[in-house]
């Protein structure tokens, strides 16, 4: 109490300063605040309602947008079909079990939905209790000047004569904080079980990424596979394989150039094919019009589009002419001076005659030269392309890309051959020397986790950074060569840039916050007085300016940040993309909490408080506490705006617009059509998690100060749970390579503690600032107890960190027996994992049974002993058009299948869906993250079935779906564009009663089928090689057309050494691209 008494004069002075700062808030400020809330409520409700109605209607027809997980993933990971009923699917979504996300998608999306559920569970009791107790305490028979509308239900509306009421918010604050403690404790226990089950699950622990460790900072004398193997051989199971990362110098540059050129060539050639079709149709229409009018048809409409070949394609057609420095006079036609008749005769003999129409290539006959795709190349002096500014030499896109691909392919072949020599004969003269990092693949999962925790080397900053759960698609190759000193410097620069961005963003965010106080703006800037008034139109303008515009501007401003912050996190030296997202989650949250909370709260009274801040900067802290009740209306409108944003997430407007342009309107390229229909979006947790946790902080900070927000907060988290549950069951896919196993969840819990600390500090300040009628402090005991509550929060967080910190990343030794390939142990019934989870592993005899299957289908010669290096131990062969080193891996069995239990499996034996489901490729390992694979937890059903390509060519047999009366079938594959494809947008085949077969959009994957088959098998021995050292050229995928131009372009590409294909793509009658299978190189 002596300490509190000592600070009484100072608190009294600060309170007076805060009162002076707030004394300019008249009653019309409160009315404007209420008007802004009502305007935001009605407008956001209208927008969200319209978006919801649009979703309900369009969901039935656009499966690629709203239900891709019902047919794209493998059968055992597919979501149930929602059907075409208008309202029944909403009940299915509402009652869907979140555990389905864990089983069919991944841990990260599951824990995200669990977090929204946790916040909904926490906020609903707080909402009911606070509205039942705090709203009457703050508003009944208590009034403070200037507190009208929603401000009557805030902490600041307690009259000076009613100071004893402050015990109610104190008691409820204790109840609410301890309720959060209970919820967090329960969820952390559940999270730990989920994460540990994920680590030892069969589907995860058998993957190379579960047993691989990235070690950086390796000294030069250890940059040898044998020495590293000897160093880590002390760990259980020993080392299976080691990949030394090398300085590839120019190889990544050539690889990136080729990737860019192949994508550009594919797009340009598809554009060329469409131009030829449109030009041909234009010619036919012109001829038809002239024939109807009886007019003669010009020769240019009947002949080829060009009478001369294209310059870049005529080199082998035109004979070489002698070098002549004279020419005929174009005006007179006579020879110039010094020119004789003999020279003219010589010239006439030497010049080649114009080529006939048959000698001109098809593309030159169909497309005028000036309509060919062209682009500007990057100037030599510029590090980036400047075509937007019309800078750079303009070239023919197709010819330039062919030459670029041929050049890069040749250089890559030479570099890869040299790399093979360096690996086979290591020495000081290596062209591609090893870098200071390596991927080490252990035989046992527990060995990988022990390697990550052991003290590896006796020198500082040597082999100190070790990372588990590494997967090739997740690696950031450019950061593998950084040592710890470089990382430290980069980290300092990165966070300095982040701090600078936070400071730079303060000014626009403060301006947005100032917009929420219309009365202060009009009093400071008289030219804005025209918006004042009590008429309906004036109130509407005030509501839009203070209730709609600030939250929308703030959301737009914050959308620009993640891109820059992600680049800063990558610059810092993160070795994998999930590490970037984890770092981004921290940076983005700091940004949001500073600008979306502190700056907005201060700027709500910034205009009227500038003089006070200038004379007494220490008043900022007390102003923050005293402004929180007044600024609460802005955060309520922000939550209402987020309702609309969440509904936009449900409607997926951006994906919908891309789908409309690429699939329906223009058709795009075959690859872009495939990507739009069959590539599912992946979550970016670095921005998704902070976007939700910042609202959790707002709810916690304001749950006592402004209890009105609790009702909207509870409704928001309930609604968010439904939306994101739908997203991660039916729409969004979490790749196994980037699943962290729930590491984002503990960070989200830390964000909740930030909200608790903000609330406790502000409540303590408000209690200390409270004054009775005599101007004396009236709530010092409550302020002291709030400090005690703050210490309780610190102790609880410390307990959580100490208990769960060591278990957050690594696998405990007590669970090592549950990993894939480990001998099973008994007497673990009391384990948190439990014997029930133990039974999910492979049953006795299953492993031998699967080995018998592989032997039966020709895979008995699989050598599971790791080779020293794939480029040495395996024979490499080059393709005829070759640009890559093809590794002689084990042949795949062509006729092996499994028949998982599915509602559709009860249909007729001739069902096309059943045949599709039975047709799956098995190579002993998973084919792809999204592709069909042999599920190790199911017993395979061995039978001779047709290959997937034959099934696509077979005639479909109709079967009825239980969800709707739509005929389901795997559509046939059309080998020619003239062959009709009798399917519709919703997997339906054409009605046989129709007079003609329609050629509408269709899907080649259906619910209940095997999903989108991916034939690419990743060689495990080359898994952690840089893509530039192993990836072949992307196949140019063109659609077949009726004019035959696509076939001619494929032939021209082949002559130039560019791999191309027409397989499974064609142009329909309207000129849109159609596909019937994945890309040929997938």
pLDDT digits (tens, 9 = 90+) for 415-474: 999 999 998 888 778 899 999 999 999 999 999 999 999 999 989 889 989 999 999 999
Confidence check: pLDDT of 883 > 60? no
For tokens 């008289």, name the residue: 526
Instruction: Kindly tell me if the per-residue pLDDT of 825 is higher than 90.
Output: no
What pLDDT does residue 7 have? 32
User: H-type helices in 906-1022, by residue range?
Assistant: 912-918, 948-953
pLDDT at 604 over 70: no
Phi (first) and psi of residue 245, to 5 degrees = -80, 140
Predicted pLDDT of residue 767: 92
- Residue-wise pLDDT tens digits, 306-364: 766 765 543 443 333 333 333 334 333 434 444 444 444 443 444 455 555 555 788 88
pLDDT higher for 640 or 721?
A: 721
3-class secondary-structure state, position 240 = strand
What mean pLDDT is predicted for residues 1006-1028? 81
User: For 195-209, 898-912, 1023-1037, which range has the lowest pLDDT when averaged over its residues?
Assistant: 898-912
Mean pLDDT of 980-992: 35
Mean pLDDT of 385-397: 81
Q: Is the dihedral of CA 412, 414, 420, 422 positive or negative?
A: negative
Would you tell me the crossing angle of helices 536-543 and 27-58 to the nearest 10 degrees?
A: 70
Determine the Cα–Cα distance for residues 630 and 25; give it in Å rounded to an integer: 10
CA distance 814 to 825: 10
Rounded mean pLDDT of 42-70?
Answer: 89
pLDDT confidence of residue 358: 55
Tally Cβ neighbours within 10 Å of residue 277. 18
Residue 682 clears pLDDT 70, i.e. is over it: yes
**67-78 mean pLDDT:** 92
Which residue(s) pair with 941 in the sheet? 897
Tokens matching residue 989: 């085949």
CB neighbour class for 358 (10 Å; exposed up to 12, middle 13-18, buried from 19): exposed
> Is the Cα dihedral 964, 969, 975, 979 positive or negative?
negative
Q: How far is the C-alpha of 662 from the C-alpha of 640, rounded, in Å?
A: 33
Between residues 804 and 972, the one the model is more confident about: 804
Above 70 in pLDDT, residue 1001?
A: no
Query: CA-CA distances (angstroms) from residue 1016 to 150, 202, 208, 341, 871?
Result: 61, 22, 17, 68, 19
Give me 61's structure tokens. 């027809």
C-alpha distances (whole Å) from 969 to each of 81, 356, 661, 1000 are 15, 49, 26, 15
Q: What local confidence, expressed as pLDDT, does residue 308 receive? A: 67
Task: Specify the pLDDT at position 262.
Answer: 96
Q: Which two tokens stand for residue 1019?
A: 């060689």
- Name the least confident of 283-297, 928-942, 1010-1024: 928-942
Mean pLDDT of the chain: 76
% of the chain beyond a pLDDT of 70: 70
Task: Say whether pLDDT at 1069 is over 70.
Answer: yes
Most confident of 707-721, 843-857, 934-948, 1012-1026: 707-721
**Count of C-beta atoms within a 10 Å radius of residue 918:** 20
How far is 811 from 1030, CA to CA, in rounded Å?
32
- For the record, the structure tokens of 514 come out as 């100032």
**Cα gap 385→402, rounded to integer Å:** 19
pLDDT of 265 reads 96
pLDDT at residue 1 tops 60: no
Q: Is the pLDDT of residue 637 over 70?
A: yes
Q: For strands 466-467 and 212-216, give the pairing.
A: antiparallel
β-partners of residue 887 are: 876
pLDDT digits (tens, 9 = 90+) for 14-34: 333 333 333 333 344 444 466
Residue with tokens 């009944």: 140
Q: What is the pLDDT of residue 830?
A: 55
Q: How many CA atoms lie within 13 A of 227 on its CB side?
A: 9
Residue 918 structure tokens: 């039975």
């Amino acid at each position: 109490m002596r300490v509190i008494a000592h600070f009484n004069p100072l608190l009294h002075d600060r309170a007076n300063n805060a009162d002076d700062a707030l004394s300019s808030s008249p009653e019309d400020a409160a009315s404007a605040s209420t008007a802004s809330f009502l305007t935001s409520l009605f407008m956001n409700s209208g927008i969200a309602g319209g978006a919801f109605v649009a979703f309900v209607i369009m969901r039935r027809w656009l499966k690629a947008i709203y239900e891709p997980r019902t047919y794209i993933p493998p059968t055992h990971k597919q979501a149930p079909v929602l059907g075409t009923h208008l309202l029944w699917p909403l009940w299915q979504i509402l009652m869907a079990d979140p555990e389905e996300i864990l089983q069919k998608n991944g841990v990260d999306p599951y824990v995200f939905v669990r977090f929204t559920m946790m916040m909904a569970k926490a906020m609903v009791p707080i909402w009911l209790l606070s509205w039942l107790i705090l709203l009457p305490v703050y508003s009944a028979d208590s009034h403070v000047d200037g507190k009208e509308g929603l401000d009557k239900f805030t902490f600041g509306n307690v009259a000076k004569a009613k100071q004893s009421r402050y015990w109610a918010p104190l008691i409820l604050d204790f109840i609410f904080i301890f309720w959060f403690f209970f919820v967090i404790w329960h969820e952390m226990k559940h999270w730990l079980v989920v994460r540990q089950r994920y680590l030892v699950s069969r589907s995860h622990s058998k993957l190379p990424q579960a047993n691989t460790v990235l070690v950086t900072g390796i000294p030069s004398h250890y940059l040898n596979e044998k020495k590293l193997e000897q160093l880590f051989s002390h760990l259980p199971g020993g080392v299976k394989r080691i990949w030394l990362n090398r300085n590839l110098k120019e190889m990544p540059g050539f690889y990136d150039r080729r990737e860019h050129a192949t994508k550009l060539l594919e797009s340009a050639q598809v554009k060329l094919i469409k131009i030829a079709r449109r030009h041909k149709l234009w010619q036919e229409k012109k001829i038809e019009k002239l024939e109807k009018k009886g007019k003669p048809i010009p020769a240019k409409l009947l002949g080829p589009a060009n009478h001369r070949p294209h310059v870049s394609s005529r080199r082998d057609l035109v004979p070489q002419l002698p070098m002549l420095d004279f020419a005929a006079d174009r005006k007179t036609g006579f020879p110039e001076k010094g020119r004789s008749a003999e020279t003219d005769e010589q010239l006439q003999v030497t010049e080649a005659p114009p080529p006939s129409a048959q000698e001109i290539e098809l593309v030159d006959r169909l497309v005028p030269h000036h309509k060919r795709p062209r682009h500007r190349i990057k100037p030599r002096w510029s590090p980036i392309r400047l075509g937007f500014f019309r800078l750079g030499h303009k070239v023919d896109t197709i010819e330039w890309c062919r030459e670029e691909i041929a050049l890069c392919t040749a250089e890559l072949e030479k570099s890869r051959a040299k790399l093979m020599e360096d690996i086979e004969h290591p020495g000081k003269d290596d062209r591609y020397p090893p870098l200071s990092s390596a991927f080490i693949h252990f035989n046992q999962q527990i060995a990988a986790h022990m390697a990550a925790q052991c003290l590896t080397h006796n020198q500082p900053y040597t082999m100190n950074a070790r990372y588990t759960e590494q997967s090739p698609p997740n690696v950031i190759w450019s950061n593998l060569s950084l040592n710890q000193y470089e990382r430290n410097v980069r980290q300092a620069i990165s966070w300095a840039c982040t701090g600078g961005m936070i400071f730079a963003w303060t000014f626009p965010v403060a301006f947005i916050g100032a917009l929420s106080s219309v009365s202060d703006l009009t009093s400071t800037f008289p030219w804005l007085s025209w918006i004042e008034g009590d008429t309906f139109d004036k109130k509407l303008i005030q509501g839009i300016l203070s209730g709609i515009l600030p939250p929308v501007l703030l959301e737009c401003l914050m959308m620009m940040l993640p891109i820059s912050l992600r680049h800063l996190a990558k610059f810092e030296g993160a070795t994998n993309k999930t590490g970037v997202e984890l770092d981004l989650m921290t940076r983005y949250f700091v940004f949001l909490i500073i600008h979306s909370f502190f700056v907005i709260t201060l700027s709500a009274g910034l205009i009227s408080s500038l003089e006070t801040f200038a004379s007494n900067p220490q008043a900022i802290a007390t102003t923050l506490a005293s402004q929180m009740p007044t600024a609460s209306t802005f955060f309520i409108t922000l939550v209402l705006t987020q309702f609309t944003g969440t509904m936009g997430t449900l409607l997926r407007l951006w994906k919908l617009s891309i789908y409309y342009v690429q699939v329906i309107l223009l058709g795009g390229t075959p690859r872009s059509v495939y990507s739009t229909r069959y590539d599912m979006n992946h979550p970016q947790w670095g921005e998704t998690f902070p976007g939700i946790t910042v609202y959790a902080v707002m709810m916690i900070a304001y749950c006592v100060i402004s209890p009105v927000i609790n009702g909207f907060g509870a409704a928001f988290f309930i609604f968010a749970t439904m939306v994101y549950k739908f997203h991660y069951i039916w729409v969004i896919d979490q790749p196994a390579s980037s699943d962290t196993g729930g590491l984002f969840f503990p960070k989200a819990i830390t964000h909740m503690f930030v909200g608790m600390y903000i609330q406790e500090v502000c409540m303590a300040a408000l209690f200390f600032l409270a004054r009775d009628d005599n101007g004396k402090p009236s709530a010092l005991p409550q302020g002291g107890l709030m400090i005690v509550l703050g210490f309780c929060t610190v102790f609880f967080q410390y307990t959580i960190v100490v208990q769960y910190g060591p278990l957050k990343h690594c696998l405990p030794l007590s669970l090592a027996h549950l990993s894939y390939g480990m001998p099973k142990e008994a007497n673990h019934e009391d384990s948190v994992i439990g014997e029930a989870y133990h039974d999910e592993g492979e049953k006795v005899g299953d492993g031998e049974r699967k080995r018998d299957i592989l032997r039966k289908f020709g895979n008995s010669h699989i050598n599971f002993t790791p080779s020293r290096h794939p480029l040495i131990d395996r024979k490499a062969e080059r393709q005829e058009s070759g640009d890559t080193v093809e590794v002689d891996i084990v042949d795949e069995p062509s006729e092996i299948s499994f028949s998982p239990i599915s509602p559709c499996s009860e249909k007729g034996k001739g069902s096309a869906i059943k045949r599709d489901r039975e047709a799956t490729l098995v190579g002993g390992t998973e084919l792809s993250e999204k592709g069909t694979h042999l599920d190790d937890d199911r017993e395979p059903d061995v039978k001779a079935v047709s290959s997937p390509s034959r099934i696509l060519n077979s005639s479909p047999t109709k079967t009825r779906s239980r969800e709707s009366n739509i005929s389901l079938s795997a559509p046939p594959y059309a080998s020619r564009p003239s062959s009709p494809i009798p399917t519709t947008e919703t997997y339906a085949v054409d009605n046989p009663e129709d007079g003609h077969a329609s050629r509408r959009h269709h899907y080649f994957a259906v619910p209940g089928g095997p999903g989108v088959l991916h034939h690419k098998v990743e060689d495990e021995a080359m898994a952690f090689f840089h893509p530039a050292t192993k990836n072949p050229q992307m196949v140019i995928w063109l659609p077949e057309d009726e004019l035959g131009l696509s076939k001619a372009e494929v032939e021209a590409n082949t002559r130039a050494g560019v791999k191309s294909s027409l397989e499974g793509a064609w142009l329909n009658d309207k000129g849109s691209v159609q596909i019937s299978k994945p890309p040929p190189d997938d």
